[in-house]
């Protein structure tokens, strides 16, 4: 591969890697902040499994859990279970992720005290966020490979 092609390939790897890395770190920071948020008792108002557009033709299947909770006399409706969506690539995986929630169940809702419209049921960092950071680091590091090989 000529130097020009090696640099183009490296830039593509770096771009994809930095995108994944920033996205993963942003999710981890959001999880870290949310763990310090206050919580309110909420109620699940609906549970569904839906298909959402994705990069592959099959889409992404994820559970949709809507809940309501009250803060300072105002009722809010949220829909975020976890920061990574807690989806699945198959309906079976999505149903398994939705299984802990039933309409009418009481749930603990963590909310941003500055903006209670931002809420989540599971504020902890997820394995998906760590995988995204790892993938980003791997792609950034891998971007050096075509340059290294090109110099060899």
The string of pLDDT tens digits covering residues 42-91 is: 999 999 888 777 665 566 777 889 999 999 999 999 998 887 655 566 77
How far apart (Å, rounded) are the C-alpha atoms in residues 121 and 100? 12
Q: Please check whether residues 113 and 133 belong to one and the same domain.
A: no
**Total tally of structural domains belonging to the chain:** 2
Please give the structure tokens belonging to residue 14.
Answer: 């770096």
Give the range of the structural domain holding residue 12, as residue numbers without chain letter: 1-35+124-152
pTM for the full model? 0.70
pLDDT score, position 71: 97
Same domain, residue pair 64 and 111: yes
Residue 116 shares a structural domain with residue 148 = no
Our CA angle for 76, 81, 86, nearest 5°, is: 155
CA distance 22 to 67: 29
Indicate whether 5 pLDDT > 60: yes
In the block, which residue shows the tokens 């609906």?
A: 46
Q: What is the residue-averaged pLDDT of the chain? A: 83
* Reported confidence tier of residue 31, pLDDT bands at 50, 70, 90: confident
Same domain? 79 vs 93: yes
79 and 48 inside one domain: yes
Q: Is the pLDDT of residue 150 over 70?
A: no
Q: Which two tokens stand for residue 99?
A: 């299984």
> Are residues 140 and 93 located together in one domain of the fold?
no
Is residue 104 located within the same domain as residue 132? no
Radius of gyration of the chain (CA): 20
Residues 29, 57, single domain; the answer is no
Q: Within this chain, do residues 133 and 81 fall inside the same structural domain, yes or no? A: no
Is pLDDT above 60 for 152? no
More confident residue, 52 or 136: 136
* pLDDT in the model for residue 151: 59
70, 115: one domain: yes
- Among 149, 151, 138, 150, residue whose Cα is nearest residue 14: 138
Asked whether 119 and 69 are in contact (CB, 8 A), the reply is yes
Q: Of 79, 100, 91, which is closest to residue 50 (Cα–Cα)?
A: 91
In b/e form, how buried is each residue of 43-73, taking b as 16+ CB within 10 angstroms? ebeebebeeeeeeeeeebbbbbbbbebebee
108 and 135 share a domain? no
Q: What is the pLDDT of residue 81?
A: 85
Domain match, 54 and 82 both: yes
Residue 104 CB-half CA count within 13 A: 0
- Assigned token pair, 10: 């490296």
């Amino acid at each position: 591969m000529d130097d020009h092609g090696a640099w183009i390939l490296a830039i593509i790897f770096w771009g994809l890697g930095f995108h994944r890395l920033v996205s993963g770190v942003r999710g981890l920071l959001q999880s870290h902040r949310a763990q310090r948020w206050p919580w309110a008792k909420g109620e699940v108002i609906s549970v569904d499994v839906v298909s959402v557009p994705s990069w592959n033709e099959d889409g992404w299947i994820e559970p949709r859990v809507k809940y309501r909770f009250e803060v300072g006399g105002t009722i809010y409706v949220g829909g975020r279970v976890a920061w990574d969506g807690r989806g699945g690539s198959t309906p079976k995986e999505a149903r398994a992720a939705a299984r802990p929630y039933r309409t009418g169940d009481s749930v603990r809702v963590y909310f941003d005290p500055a903006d209670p419209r931002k809420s989540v049921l599971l504020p902890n960092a997820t394995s998906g966020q760590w995988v995204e950071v790892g993938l980003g680091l791997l792609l950034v590091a891998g971007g050096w490979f075509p340059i290294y090989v090109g110099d060899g």
